[in-house]
Amino acid sequence: MIRRGSLLLLVLTVMVSLTTLAAGGDETKNLVVMIDHNPRGFSYTIDGKESGPDFLTYLNEHGSAWPAPQTKVVLLVHERASLAMVNNSRGMIIKAGYEPPRVFQFSNDKRGMIELTFLPAIPFSVRGPR
């Protein structure tokens, strides 16, 4: 129970900081997408509601509650989530019409998190530059 309380405090801290940043008189909403890990595997939630790994469908079905132009998305991911999972999740969020989300990785004990930042993609070749 303490772990859930710590995670809740962590999420609330992020939400307060985002609300403070958005407090310029506009009606910006915050949407929290979380990929957590438990003994059964990964669980996916959107604003605390179970969504499943294909949350693009969930976002499309419930998008009217979070209109893209007025909604900022925060993606919280467990440290066991692979980079491919994070990129896939970011892609679904962007495909649903939202700006790229801020991504935070939280530790297994849910006591701290770090922000992951993404730069534009660059060409890659195993043979090196030509």
Output DSSP code: residue 55: H
| Number of Cβ atoms within 10 Å of the Cβ of 63 | 15
Per-residue pLDDT at 101 exceeds 70: yes
- Per cent of the chain over pLDDT 90 is 47
Say what the pTM is: 0.74
Query: What are the domain boundaries of the chain?
Result: 2-21+28-116
Closest CA to 95 of 117, 121, 63: 63
Distance, in Å, from the CA atom of 5 to the CA atom of 30, rounded to the nearest integer, reads 20
Res 43: pLDDT: 93
Closest CA to 103 of 27, 95, 93, 56: 93
Confidence of residue 14 (pLDDT cuts 50, 70, 90): low
Confidence of residue 10 (pLDDT cuts 50, 70, 90): low
Res 93: pLDDT: 94
pLDDT per position as a tens digit, 22-78:
445 567 889 999 999 999 999 999 999 998 888 888 888 888 888 888 899 999 999
What's the mean pLDDT in 81-87? 94
Q: Which two tokens stand for residue 72?
A: 């900022």
Where is 111: in which H helix or E strand?
A: none
